[in-house]
Structure 1
């Protein structure tokens, strides 16, 4: 059974050209720096005509290797955080299957303790 991270943003006004360019820069930067070739990364869906207020949506399937889950999750959530900051005024929903990912202004999207280096080392990550 796989676990996926889902992210979406809704807003009554569509993205501006500047916002679309910012989204494209964030996605490109994420793709060029993502170090796990065999793992799914940040993936944005094409438009959803049934949801005219949806300005962004995507998902990422988490790795099966437990040692990669936190590093991949951290990188993807970092990019989703950047996307949220690039799209002001949107209502965001970010969740790992049925579990909502908390938002904090300072750190963005993260689970409590997720960036704890001791925990990452204990789980076999870098």
Structure 2
């Protein structure tokens, strides 16, 4: 059994080159710092998002034990908060499998 975080952003204008550089830098920083990268996946974006989205991606969480899962969720929600801040005019959706995360006081939480 696997659990994944899914994330997407949509808006009327495409991602600019500067935004893309920023998004990739944020993803790289968090991917490099993820303590469980040998047990789970890191942030990744789909090459071609669905028609209505400018960005989509998914990250499979490590399925070792409950503590690692919880720590991973907290870590990736922090990363997604940074990504959301890099595209502040986009409408974001973040969910763990079919359970949506909430945007509360400038950050994602479950």
TM-score normalised by L of structure 1: 0.79
Runs of 5+ unmatched residues, structure 1: 112-126
Q: Which residue does 2:28 correspond to in 1?
A: 28
Q: Which residue does 2:14 correspond to in 1?
A: 14
Runs of 5+ unmatched residues, structure 2: none
SS of residue paired to 1:37:
coil
2:31/2:37 contact within 8 Å kept: no
In 1, Cα distance between the equivalents of 2:103 and 2:69? 19
- State the 1:70 CA deviation: 1.0
Residue deviations 1:2-51, cap 9 Å, x none? 22110000111001121111101101111221111322121211123x51
Give the alignment of 1:37-76 within 5 angstroms. 37-38=37-38, 39-48=40-49, 50-51=50-51, 53-65=52-64, 66-76=66-76
Q: Which residue does 2:101 correspond to in 1?
A: 101
Q: CA RMSD in A?
A: 1.3
In 1, Cα distance between the equivalents of 2:72 and 2:103? 18
How many residue pairs align between the two structures? 108
Larger radius of gyration: 1
